[in-house]
Amino acid sequence: MLDNALKLIKELTQHNYKAYIVGGFVRDYLLGRESQDVDVTTNATPMEIQEIFQNCFLPTEDYGSVIVKKYGIRFEITTFRKEISYQDHRKPVEIQYIDDLYQDLLRRDFTINTICIDENGEVIDFLGGRDDLDRKLIRTVGDASLRFEEDALRILRAVRFATVLDFQLDQDVSDAIREKSYLLKDLSYYRKKEELDKIFVSGYAPRGIQMLLDFHLDKPLELEHLSDVKNTDSLIGIWSILNVEEYYPFSNNEKELMKNIRIVMDLNNYDPMALYQYGLYVNSVAGEMKGLDKKKITESYHSLVIHRRSDLAISSEDIMSCLHKEPGEYLSDVYKDIEREVLYHRLKNEKDVLLKYIKEKYASVG
């Protein structure tokens, strides 16, 4: 990935622009970690970048970034800039393109995110990022309070990086988080969720959650049930417990899933009826969150006599003709009854057994 990233920045330098790899890729590379994508910083403007590369996309959210897909890698190329004014402690509303790498690094959040690699593969480290990587320390570029005041998302990013990398927060950062945490309330749920997702899927998620609780960030984040999350094996399971889909963004599919997971959390996840009604996945997630034995849940599921209504040895036609009746709502009651009897091994799933039961129980009733 580094070789391809160097090739890409060389394309820019061959056009007489300055260009450096920066941010997450450099940080993760120096730590021996894998990266999803590569951030590039350059003095070429978005227009100029688009003249050089095919496959450019302009993200709607971002100012002055161009996404380039090349060598199977997603590059986010951002023009050197100064951020002049911020609104509501969120993204900058006014930016100014500049020609100077150093100035661009000063607007970045943490020292460990300011390390660059140039076209020759040389590391450029103006702000002591490597020292902080060695010391496993999250330190802001400049005054932490001011930086959080400008953009409160940096508070969550600090916790995210400390969690994912298993780093410590610098004392100034911790103090500033306590002082400015109320600003999190104004951020968009979308941006907050992106950071929270990264905290929750991390191998160190329990530590991240504990950090959020220790800083009392659950209040401004409106995560009332955060302290109820005891197990972090499933992201959707965590969000189910948090129960915040009224304001945090989720797809309809995810919402339905979380609703069912919450229902099943209160049930016995080895129970045939719970497994039959809600399926293996929902019960497994709920089981995981409760620390149950996943293998046992899977075994219980596979040993169910039936997994769906069509597995029953009789059809609607059989029920109707045995009761001499037209279709009606009674069918669903009969089905539920025999499903239960079969699942709990009180009736064999055999046609004559089921029909005999239905005839005896339902024939006389209206």
Shortest Å, Cβ 24 to Mg ion: 3
User: Does 237 sit near Mg ion (CB under 5 A)?
Assistant: no
Interface stretch with ligand ATP, choices 151-159, 200-208, 217-225, 246-254 (CB under 6 A) = 151-159
d(CA 124, CA 114): 9
Q: Is 109 near ligand ATP (CB under 6 A)?
A: yes
Q: 161-200: which residues touch ligand ATP (CB under 6 A)?
A: none
- Please identify which residue in 151, 170, 288, 339 interacts with ligand ATP, judged by CB under 6 A: 151
> Measured from the CB atom, is 39 or 288 closer to Mg ion?
39
Structure token pair of residue 108: 């970045």
Mark 25-54 with x for binding to ligand ATP (rule: CB under 6 A) and - for no binding.
--------------x---------------
CB of 209 to ligand ATP, least distance (A): 19
170 binds, among ligand ATP, Mg ion, none (CB under 5 to 8 A by kind): none
| Binding letters toward ligand ATP, positions 62-101, x by CB under 6 A | ----------------------------------------
Between 330-343 and 272-289, two packed helices, what is the crossing angle to 10 degrees? 70
Give the nearer residue to ligand ATP in terms of CB position, either 141 or 323: 141
The answer to whether 23 and 113 have CB atoms below 8 angstroms apart is yes
CB 36 → Mg ion: shortest distance, Å? 7
Nearest in space to 287 (alpha carbons), one of 307, 268, 260: 268
To 5 degrees, how large is the angle CA 118–CA 122–CA 123?
90
Indicate which single residue of 39, 119, 288, 339 sits in contact with Mg ion (rule: CB under 5 A). Answer: 39
CB 80 within 8 A of CB 99: yes
Q: Report which residue's Cβ sits closest to ligand ATP.
A: 24
Nearest to 107 by CA among 156, 151, 66: 151
- CA-based nearest residue to 160, from 125, 128, 192: 192
Supply 33's token pair: 């970690």
Quick note: the x/- pattern for ligand ATP over 4-23, rule CB under 6 A, is -------------------x
Would you state the structure tokens that stand for residue 76, as one six-digit string? Answer: 């986010």
The span from the CA of 37 to the CA of 19, in Å, is: 16
d(CA 356, CA 361): 9
The two tokens of residue 300 are: 């219980």
153 touches, from ligand ATP, Mg ion, none (C-beta below 5 to 8 Å by class): ligand ATP
Q: In whole angstroms, give the CA distance from residue 20 to residue 121.
A: 9
153 binds ligand ATP (CB under 6 A): yes
Residue 170 carries which DSSP code? P
Contacts with Mg ion, residue ranges (CB under 5 A): 23-24, 39
Residues that bind ligand ATP (CB under 6 A): 23-24, 39, 108-109, 113, 151, 153-154
